[in-house]
Amino acid sequence: MRLGLYVNLFTGKDDRPALADAVEQARLAEQAGFDWVVLGERHLHRPGYHEALTSLTWLAAHTERIGLATAGLIAPVYQPVWLAETLAHLDVLSGGRVTAGLVLGYRPEEFALYGIPPREKVARFEECVELVTRLWTEESVTYEGRFASVTDAFLSPRPAQRPRPRLWNGGRVPAALARTARMCDGWTTSFNETDAELPVKIAEYLSYERGPGTLGADVLVCREGHCAPTSLQARKALEEPLRGLYDAYGSWKRTSMDAGRYAQEWDDIAARSVVGSPEQCVDGLGRYATMGADGVILRVQPPGMPQADALRAIEGFGDVLRRLEG
């Protein structure tokens, strides 16, 4: 089982702007055996949220081996050539460690910030992925799209990875799963997908035909995660800050069909999380492996959780990984 650490980029009044906490977590995750450090993206958030790509570059400079992933960048708001070039250069600088996880996005405020009509998001997403992929893999690209066009375009340097960095995509409706199979290399689930839903969703995703040039059909399950000596200690550390985050999500996702999932009780949340003692976390990760997951991305630090608690959880999952390997 491969593990990703979803790093908290929310800022607060006492936040250190150099991302010192994120660096400390990423280095510890690297030592503990995690495969990726994973960053999300958010805009128009008070008191603040660190920008994802510059933050990922900062983490690349302060780590050596761990993969650098996003889950995910809001693809419809990006100019595709800029995104392709920036991610390619980050892949070069990091020695080939980038995975670009994308999403459609859902907040009207974020689309308005970039002047993007929400009705265009699917078309913009598909155009962005096609152009990024071609620029990463072809010597010269001529492309005429609805939103972008290039003539004899190329990247120099191209990504370090060959044939290119992997692309993940999120989403939970059938159209999103089919689009992921057709255009990307892995599917990232929602953090609020229930365990009862996952086997059906995974089977559906894997049933869709792969598009030409795709590099696989990885399944990455996103979960709340906290490992402590006892389940009570894990709950005590995680529950209050996670509830604060879920209350915020309920507001952000007011236009989304899954907004109600963030009003659930702790037992419902725990049932779709990897939370508890090392033994319980071993069982939890094994459960997702049995469902067909290739990796699990763990969010161990909601906003408001002390850094010390997050570090202890990362160390705990290092112990879990050693048990799984043994």
By DSSP bridging, strand 141-144 and strand 274-276 are: unpaired
Q: What tens digit of pLDDT does each residue of 156-181 get?
A: 999 999 999 999 999 999 999 999 99
Task: Tell me which of 262 and 65 has the higher pLDDT.
Answer: 65
**226: closest CA among 236, 238, 244, 241?**
238
Confidence class for position 254, pLDDT limits 50, 70, 90:
low
Q: At what angle do helices 20-32 and 52-61 cross, to 10 degrees?
A: 60
The model's pTM is: 0.93
Instruction: Identify the band that residue 77 occupies on the pLDDT scale cut at 50, 70 and 90.
Output: very high
Residue-wise pLDDT for 115-146, tens only, equals: 999 999 999 999 999 999 999 999 999 999 99
- Going by their DSSP bridges, the two strands 274-276 and 218-227 should be labelled as parallel
Buried b (16+ CB within 10 A) or exposed e, 155-177: beebbbbeebbbbbbbbbeeebb
pLDDT tens, position by position, 282-316 = 999 999 999 999 999 999 999 889 999 999 999 99
pLDDT higher than 60, residue 86: yes
Token representation of residue 129: 């992925």
How high is the mean pLDDT of the chain? 93
**Per-residue model confidence (pLDDT) at position 13:** 64
Handedness of CA 223, 291, 173, 267 (dihedral sign): negative
Average pLDDT value for residue range 191-199: 93
Q: Which of 201-210, 225-234, 268-277 has the lowest mean pLDDT?
A: 268-277
Domain 2-325 CATH assignment equals 2.30.42.10: no
Which pLDDT belongs to residue 260? 56
For residue 14, name the pLDDT band (cuts at 50, 70, 90). Answer: low
Predicted local distance difference test score (pLDDT) of residue 52:
96
Q: Cα(60)–Cα(63) distance, rounded to whole angstroms?
A: 5
Ordered by start, the domain boundaries in the chain are 2-325
Which residue would you say has higher pLDDT here, 263 or 180?
Answer: 180
